[in-house]
Amino acid sequence: MDITVGLLAESFAESMLLPSGYVSVLRFLVKQYLIERRTLMPHTAMLIGFYRETKEGGDEEEEQLAGTVEVCFDKRGANASPPTPTSPKDSPYICNMAVKKPLRRRGIGWHLLKASEELISLMNPSSDVYLHCRMIDEAPFNMYTRAGYKIVKTDSILILFTLQRRKHLMYKKLPASSSFLESDTLDSDREKAP
């Protein structure tokens, strides 16, 4: 849990433009959050992705934690204080995705997204899945759009008065779980994406 906590704390500090001194405070808060969320399993799950590089001589480096994502499957796994615009509480929801900064742009976020969708489809065939994305975050917005997510609703400009960034609520209808087997490679997924 500690390395996942560290990764999420660094990612939150980055997105809130906080100085690195705040990371230890965030670590404490994220750890409390994850401990609480763990009691809601199997209505929610944290997925983690590992990365191992193969060097030129064929030697493999030790694997390292590369990314994480949280999936809520149903109403009982829903967050007690959901962000705006609110998503339907009983629909699956994806959140808290982060990839380690030096390992970005290698397809890890994409794999985490696809793994989340596959798991949701297995738990609940023919599901709708929701997620939030801040309007200023180009990287995840491109990834979600490419994966077929559409904007359902966007925060009103008045949200700026609460010192929050405006967010989009995005939605996708997942295919039946068998369709994932045909498209479990990055390239075939991307070819199918809009």
Ligand X SMILES: CC(C)(COP(=O)(O)OP(=O)(O)OC[C@H]1O[C@@H](n2cnc3c(N)ncnc32)[C@H](O)[C@@H]1OP(=O)(O)O)[C@@H](O)C(=O)NCCC(=O)NCCS
Residue 82: CB minimum distance to ligand X, A: 14
Contact of 158 with 114, CB cutoff 8 Å: no
CA distance 96 to 116: 12
Of 2 and 138, the one with the shorter C-beta distance to ligand X is 138
**Binding-site string for ligand X from residue 69 to residue 98, where x marks contact by CB under 6 A and - marks none:** ----------------------------xx
Instruction: Give the residue nearest to ligand X (CB).
Output: 109
List the x/- string, 140-159, binding to ligand X by CB under 6 A: x-xx--x-------------
Is 171 assigned a catalytic role?
no
Buried/exposed code over 121-156 (b: 16+ C-beta within 10 A; e: otherwise):
bebbeebbbbbbbbeebeebbebbbebbbeeeeebe
Nearer to ligand X, 125 or 137 (CB): 137
Does residue 105 interact with ligand X by CB under 6 A? yes
Q: What secondary structure letter does DSSP report for 21? A: G
CA distances from 175 to 101, 119, 125, 131 (A): 31, 12, 8, 17
Binding segment toward ligand X, per CB under 6 A, in 22-30, 31-39, 76-84, 130-138? 130-138
d(CA 122, CA 103): 28
61 vs 19: CA distance, rounded Å: 31
Catalytic residue, candidates 93, 130, 144, 149: 144
The structure tokens listed for 66 are 């590369």
Q: Which of 106, 123, 153, 154 binds ligand X (CB under 6 A)?
A: 106
Active site residues: 144
Q: Which residues bind ligand X (CB under 6 A)?
A: 11, 15, 97-99, 104-110, 133, 137-140, 142-143, 146
